[in-house]
Structure 1
Amino acid sequence: MIKKVLKFIGVFLLVLVILIVGLVSYFYFNQTSKIDTAMEIAGPPADRIILDGERFRDLNKNGELDPYEDFRQPVELRVEDLLSQMTVEEKAGLMFHSPAAVGSDGNFAGVFNIMNTLPLEVAILEKKMNFFNLFAVPKAELLAEWQNRVQELAERTRLGIPVTISSDPRHTTMELATIGFNIEGFSKWTEPIGLAAIGDSAFVHRFGEIAAQEYRAVGIHTALHPMADLATDPRWARINGTFGEDAELAAKLTAAYVHGFQGDSLTSSSVSTMTKHFPGGGPQDDGWDAHFRFGKDQVYPGDNFDYHLIPFEAAFEAGTSQIMPYYGVPVGQTSEEVGFAFNEEIITDLLRDSLQYEGIVCTDWGLINETTILGYPLGEIIEFAGTKNYGVENLSPVLRVKKALDAGVDQFGGESTPELVVQLVEEGSIPESRLDQSVRKLLALKFRLGLFDEPYVDVDHVSELTGTEEAIQLGYESQLRSQVLLTNQTVNGSPILPLQKGTRIYIENLDLEVASQYGQVVETVEEADVAILNLEAPKDPEMGSFAGMDLFPMGRLYYTEEELAPVMEIIRQKPTVITTYLSRPAVIPELAESASAIVANFGASNEAIFDLLFGEFNPTGKLPFEMPSSWEAVLNQKEDVPFDSEDPLFPFGYGLSYEE
């Protein structure tokens, strides 16, 4: 019997291996065939035209200097000249902004739709697309090489329209923070919520300048940030990307951020900012995030809608070139209960007409088409990957595109189906002139960023422009300045912090090698003078994850009894210092009462944490949000109202120093 079972298992595994090999082979050869077909369309690279001692790129390969190829001409003239030469397909391609994968060796890896990967050659040559955003990437030099290969491919299209590359934040101290990856070679900074804890607009402006230099060095032209959302609900998963719950502070820092990245106007050294998520994510029903269908509703029980516009108004005044609406449905705020990007009263009536915003509006990612895996709707397996088509679920993808265009958006984020726009024009559902309205803005952005004149980066000089001594020093300074000393109890007549060098320390969840440079690390609590515990912030582990990645910490803000028990046992034995990364305002009354000291950070390396604990830096950070005293207080808060936690454990702006 056992032999038969083993034989059956062996046959099953053999069939499974053959099936997997077959699928991989099919996928590989299918992709190769698509690439070969696409490359047949590619034209030659652009020649250079020498005129009056200047070099110009003959992008349309006609042997003449067209106005759009002449950098001496005004942007408006160049835009109109190029627009007059574009087909409907080329205009439609410009209106899609899709994720692109970068190979570990700097080569092409396709455009994402999970395993239905669209080869980059197909996206650029056949679909006429030229806006792409990046997720995980190799080190800086390899990314620069990839960017140049992409631009070489774009140069071989009919009109030679260059590619614009965008990215979420790239300067986190953590490998992954709500889709924010660090690039090897870039400087490392605290999160935006940490910049709010510092509260220094000049410092934020300098961060923007440094980040922009590092972005442009590797060929990133658009920042899919800042987040001008307000953290008025402490449960919301994306607080670490905001500047906290105070609208005036957030407005000041948002403006400084935009100015830092873009400068006073867009130039070839600027990075354009796509400020998000208009008209303000944050007041999510029960704190759930709109990446998930159960979090689609934005609510305003405090009738505080306008409060959330304040940071966006600052971004407009600072000249942000792009705006991204959020996914959610503004419950009770408009006559139609549909997501922001489909909502004409939000995009046209409010953003365009009332607030007079004339820049680019790009939807958040994945509103139109279902994400699939080998043709199967992934949203049926993992809710995070489902289409964010809130309120328009019954419309077909092509009609969703029409509704968003009618609402006033210019570009579709995370999508790669320009054929839907072409279909709408061909069937007469929208006029080509409607495309022109959006394409003018998208082309002007490329011209102002200098991409038509010089889209390539100097790979040999990437290391000179990224991770400079000043950038690394200021990034580390941000990690120090953003930490907040919450408690510092007296032990044996003196405050526990700062610790003395050489103190015997027991550590958990901290780097042993780093800790050993400050204290004598021991193996047991009993041997220690002080225990130092680095705690993970509270959350519901089953919520907010995708493909094994903890993207969106959601749910409870308190520790369970099971989670607290081992911590309290250590506290009972020895003076205990707690350090924790606060992605959200934790509810920690038990720890505040019993721990010897608590230090919060918003993105800090182990070195920065120990520098502060051992007195190499005197803490100066101030809380950018309230920390509630109980879960009941959280439940009694209104999602859209700031500073409404009853009797907070630590109020907004709280923070101790060693001199107090």
Structure 2
Amino acid sequence: MKNTPKSGSVAVRSAGKTKAPAYRDPKLAPERRTKDLLGRMTLEEKAAQMICVWQQKAEKLVDAEGRFDPAKARAAFKKGHGLGQVGRPSDAGKGLDARQMAELTNAIQKFFVEESRLGIPVVFHEECLHGQAAIGGTSFPQPIGLGATFDPALAESLYTMTALEARARGAHQALTPVVDVARDPRWGRVEETFGEDPFLVSRMGIAAVRGFQGDATFRDKTRLIATLKHFAAHGQPESGMNCAPANVSERVLRETFLYPFEQAIRHGGAISIMPSYNEIDGLPSHANRWLLRDVLRKEWGFQGYAVSDYYAIWELSYRPDTHGHFLAEDRKQACKLAVEAGVNIELPEPDCYLHLVELVRKGVLKEAQLDELVAPMLLWKFRMGLFDDPYVDPEYAATVAGCEAHRGVALQAARETMTLLKNEGGLLPLDPGAVKTIAVIGPNADRPMLGGYSGKPVYCSTVLEGIRARAGKGMKVLYSEGCKITQPGSWNQDEVLPSDPAEDRTLIAAAVRTARKADVIVLAIGGNEQTSREAWSLQHMGDRTSLDLIGRQDELVRAMLALGKPVVVLLFNGRPLSIREVAETVPAVLECWYLGQETGTAVAEVLFGDVNPSGKLPITIPRSAGHVPAYYNHKPSARRGYLFDEVSPLFAFGFGLSYTTFEFSAPRLAKKSMRIDGSTRVSVDVKNTGTREGAEVVQLYIRDVVSSVTRPVKELKGFQRVVLQPGEARTVAFEITPELLAFWDVNMRFTVEPGAFELMTGNSSRDCDLQKVTLRVN
């Protein structure tokens, strides 16, 4: 749909003719158009570009059904100053399908293009954590599950797919990917991350950015601006509580938490970034000039723009329903601090930045400060073509959303996510010819399992539905809920109520009666969307003090094992769970995380051997919350031992079994020594020594043996997923460059120090799964 804007009020008369202003000329470079437009804008128009509307859509832009309301819009924006962004048009009314959202974005866009003085289009942003969080959007595994695939190419294809679906509806910016490094499993937002390792997170983050943005030319309306979040150190909050301080040194900050952001900017070209709610060394990120100006813009050369996290500028003062940092006395001072730090636009509602004009008029801020922050946002509106053709085709949007081709990509992601943690006696895969009756038991057996920030996909299968479909007529499939995890409720619901013990025990008894009739028991347990989620207010919690299974789930497991039948546990959860009893007693365990809309299909394929599981843990599973922190890349003095308990994790980072077996050769160096500015190559042979095709993830870890500051015992520095036929062997090679060996030394210089480096290759971070070779650097 093309529509020529009518906002021709800004024009230059020459020799009796009206000449369009330079910013209207699509032949000119975006930079020149930006400069011309900025020079024509009033202070009020500049401030308007730094403001967003989200839930206020209902007051200012749409009617109760989510349709554009021109009367509301004219009343709310009668001064013609325009608006910077509109948040989540998909959730207007009671939620819009693809065609309706495209129609709405077209209508809103048309209003701002035609009825604001300068005709500046708006940007529409959407949540796209694991698919667009909208009605009809394709939903794939949560990022923690994608981390388990160790497959950046797959991640890029998934976010390319998401960009296409969202852009077709009129969206321009995704508030994704999350490149936080999750180092505390008590934190409820672990599922939004790619895991605990900065290298893995960086590679998956780069892939996500490339998927969203492509080459960032945005010529064909299939891509979106990616937003890196949450900048920075959000993934290791004090006490595991969301938004709590990040108590880390600058060295740890740079090497662990800033690394994925820097990589996604330098190698992915990320255009937008979102500061985090938390503080670092007493400075909340939205007021941290060192972070947003010195590091982000000066050191890294970031040329994009920073969007605030929702209500985070307000929180620089005090937000009663959650918390405050008390850096600011009021919203005016919070506005000043955020502008000075370099936050380009406030999300999600007009709030603190409503004071921009007043603060400039009073001399508290300078108009040039607003120019600096507005310019990059205008530049990307030009580069995206929004001034020239800002509209989309509703019919095309309806065709793309949730289409069959996208289902296939989501299914492949679900297959690669599933991680086999235990398979005693080769219980899996199940033999369909030998199993006559299967009992599907558990609170997660027959409910959609999507996790947080999810939409409503066109199709969504449960474990029970998938097993029934795969079993066909030759196998009887029985079902019993077994127990509940929490009382029924959603991710959005504030109050979380524990299940009733008496009701649970009644359900367990019923499950025993059901399972007694079966040959095999498949037990779907773990967590749900309420037990691990973003804690966004004092009434909406999601962090935990325990990592144990909630409620009577362990009792259910014991009751199933007591029947003396083979038991397979499927774990669905957004964070690692300390499944000690399950790990010790259940013969087969699969970690599923959240698999997305294709859950049932993927689970059935893996259970019956149609697909060989290949996932690897992107985060350590500790024995208990008392073992936290449990991340693998710890310092040499950090895991000395405990009284009366093991110090090792239940399952290590990078670990995951297969239905086949693999053999690794010792690693070989092309050169046994290299200069500090040189390079070499390490190679390892991997062979499928089993009887079926399988995928293995070859992992490279490096340790600096002696250094000027303490270094981790090992760090992931390379990985490659390979698919091998039975008997097939392949050589996997990793380039060893200075970047992989460098660190922030005793003088806080990023450098490579001469000496010995241990290079370790294998299929998990466990010492027993790795072989070493020593590289000398001089």
- Shift of residue 584, structure 1, vs aligned partner: 0.9
**Alignment size in residue pairs:** 568
- The 2-side partners of 1:656 and 1:225 are apart by 30
1:470 & 1:302 partners in 2: Cα distance?
Answer: 45
**Match of residue 611 from structure 1:** 605
Structure 1 residue 629 and structure 2 residue 629: aligned?
Answer: no
Shift, 1:98, TM fit: 3.4
The 8 Å contact of residues 631 and 653 in structure 2, kept in 1 or not, is answered as no
Give the match for residue 395 of structure 1: 329
Kept in 1, the 8 Å contact 2:526–2:577? The answer is no
Q: Which amino acid aligns with 1:309?
A: L
Partner Cα distance (1:642, 1:355) in 2: 31
Q: Is the 8 A contact 1:47 1:61 kept in 2?
A: no
Shift of 1:531: 1.8
Which of residues 360, 378, 397 is equivalent to 1:425?
A: 360
Given that residues 622 and 630 in structure 2 are in contact (C-alpha distance below 8 angstroms), is that contact kept between their aligned partners in structure 1? no
Cα distance in 2 for partners of 1:67, 1:161 equals 14
1:80 aligned partner: 35
Q: Which runs of 4+ in 1 moved over 6 A?
A: 546-551, 636-645
Amino acid at match of 1:657: S
Q: How does 1:469-548 map to 2 (within 5 A)?
A: 469-490=404-425, 494-500=426-432, 503-507=436-440, 508=442, 509-511=444-446, 512-517=464-469, 518=471, 519-522=475-478, 524-537=514-527
Aligned mate of 1:128, from 58, 76, 82? 82
Helix, strand or coil at the partner of 2:562:
helix
The residue type equivalent to 2:45 in the other structure is: E
**Residue in 1 that maps onto 2:572:** 581
State the distance in 2 between where 1:649 and 1:366 align.
39
Q: Is the 8 A contact 1:233 1:639 kept in 2?
A: no
2:275 corresponding residue in structure 1:
325
Structure 1 distance, partners of 2:531, 2:9, is 54
* 1:229 aligned to which of 180, 184, 189: 180
Counterpart CA distance in 1 for 2:427 and 2:638 is 32
- The answer to whether the Cα contact below 8 Å between 1:151 and 1:162 also exists between their aligned partners in 2 is yes
Higher normalized contact order (CA 8 Å, seq sep 6+, divided by chain length): 1
Q: What is the identity, as a one-letter code, of the residue corresponding to 1:86?
A: M
1:289 aligns with 2:242: yes
Aligned partner of 1:107: which letter? R
Counterpart of 2:107, as a letter, is R
User: What 5-or-longer segments of structure 1 have no aligned partner?
Assistant: 1-45, 49-55, 111-117, 173-180, 291-295, 332-336, 372-376
Structure 2, unmatched stretches of 5+, are: 12-17, 447-463, 480-513, 640-646, 662-778
Shift of 1:596: 2.5
8 Å Cα contact 1:192-1:240 kept in structure 2: yes
Q: What is the CA-CA distance between 1:154 and the residue it aligns to? A: 0.9
The residue that corresponds to 2:104 in the other structure is 146
Asked if the contact 2:240–2:543 (Cα under 8 Å) also holds between the matched residues in 1, the reply is no
Could you tell me whether the CA contact under 8 Å between 2:527 and 2:550 is conserved in 1? no
* Structure 1 contact 285–639 (Cα < 8 Å) conserved: no
| Alignment match, 2:123 | 164
Structure 1, residues 490-538: CA drift from partner, whole Å, max 9, x if none? Answer: 2xxx524335265412223323444322242225111111222211328
* Contact kept? 2:568, 2:588, Cα under 8 Å: yes
CA deviations over 1:129-176 (Å, ceiling 9, x no partner): 23022163321111111111111221221111111001112645xxxx
Q: Does residue 416 of structure 1 match 2:370?
A: no
Q: Provide the C-alpha distance between the structure 2 equivalents of 1:636 and 1:539, rounded to a whole number of angstroms.
A: 24
Structure-2 separation of matches of 1:539 and 1:452 = 40
Q: How many Å separate the matches in 2 of 1:143 and 1:643?
A: 55
Residue 445 of structure 1 aligns to which amino acid in structure 2? W
Cα distance per residue 1:225-284 (max 9 Å; x no partner): 111110122222211111111111111121121112112223243311111111231121
Matched, 1:554 2:544: yes
Distance verdict in 2 for CA 1:636–1:619, change over 3 Å: closer
Task: Kindly indicate whether the alpha-carbon contact (under 8 Å) linking 1:503 and 1:529 is maintained by their aligned counterparts in 2.
Answer: yes
CA distance in 2, matches of 1:442, 1:618: 46
Give 1:620's match in structure 2, choosing from 614, 623, 648. 614
The answer to whether the 8 A contact 2:531-2:542 is kept is no
Q: How does 1:268-279 map to 2 (within 5 A)?
A: 268=219, 269=221, 270-279=223-232
Residue number in structure 2 paired with 1:306: 254
Q: Larger % of helix: which?
A: 1
Point out the more displaced range, 80-89 or 555-564: 555-564
CA RMSD of aligned residues (A): 3.2
Q: Equivalent residue of 1:443, what SS?
A: helix
Corresponding residue SS for 2:148: helix
In the TM superposition, residue 592 of structure 1 has moved relative to its aligned partner by 0.8
1:96 is the counterpart of 2:51: yes
Whether the 8 Å contact between 1:612 and 1:618 is mirrored in structure 2 is: yes
Q: What's the TM-score once normalised by structure 2's chain length?
A: 0.68
Q: Taking structure 1 as reference, are residues 320 and 619 closer, same or farther at Cα in structure 2, changes over 3 Å only?
A: same
Corresponding residue for 1:598? 589
Residue 11 of structure 1 corresponds to: none
Over the matched positions of the two proteins, sequence identity in percent amounts to: 29
Q: Measured at CA, do residues 316 and 422 of structure 1 come closer, stay the same or move farther in structure 2, by a change above 3 Å?
A: same
Please say which of residues 96-105 and 237-246 is displaced more in the overlay.
96-105
Partner Cα distance (1:469, 1:104) in 2 = 32
TM-score (norm 1): 0.79
Tell me the CA shift for residue 429 of structure 1: 0.9
Q: Is the 8 A contact 1:232 1:643 kept in 2?
A: no
